[in-house]
Amino acid sequence: GFRLVTVVHEKLGAETFWRDYWDSGETFFDGTKGFYKALGDGNLRWARLDQVVRPSLWYNVYRNWRSGIRGNLLVGEGRIFGGLYIVQSAQQGPRIAYQFSETVLGNRAPISKVLEVCSDISGVALDETSLQRAKQQEEDAKKTATAQCDGQDSCALPSSSSSKL
C-alpha cells in the first residue's frame, strides 16, 4: 500500500484545503519550508511576478476552476513552487523514486507517470487498460479548457488554429 500525505508551508488556507479536498489524508505543516527547499535543490523556488502574465498560469487556474477546484489565490503566499515526491521505503532507508517540481504555478504531475512509478514500487502490475485510461483522462482534462499550454508560457487554441496566445 501507499501512504498519501500533503505538506503545507503556511496555515492560512490549510484547513479549508484539508476539509474540501483532503479529509481522508494526512497534512503536515512545514514552517521551515524544508519540503519546498528540497524540491528546489536546497533553495526555495519562487515564481517571478512576470508569471502572472503567462497564459500557462491562467490555463492552470481555469483548468482547476472547470474541474471544481477552488483555490485561495489571493490568500497567503502563493508564489512558492511546490511539487510531488514519491518516496519508496527500502532496507537501506527511504529513497526518492520520483520527483515532480512545478515550473508554472498549478502544474500537475502526469498521472500516468505517477501510476507507473507506483506500480514499479509495489510490484503490482499496471495493466495497459489502466495506463491508457489514465492517459485518456489527462487528455480529456486538457480538452476541458479553451487553450492548450506547453507548461511554460506558450498556449494555443485546441482547434486547427495554430495561433499562439
**Who contacts 145 (Cβ-Cβ below 8 Å, separation ≥6)?**
59, 62, 63, 66
Give the pLDDT confidence score for residue 39 in this predicted structure: 95
Structure confidence by residue, pLDDT tens digits, 58-73: 888 888 888 887 766 6
Give the pLDDT confidence score for residue 163 in this predicted structure: 36
DSSP state of 32: T
Give the pLDDT confidence score for residue 32 in this predicted structure: 96
Please report, for the chain, the start and end positions of each structural domain, with discontinuous segments joined by +: 5-156
- Bridge partners (DSSP) listed for residue 95: 88
Given a cut of 50, the residues of the chain with pLDDT beneath it are 146-147, 153-154, 157, 160-165
At 115, which helix (H) or strand (E)?
A: helix 111-122
Task: Write down the pTM of the prediction.
Answer: 0.73
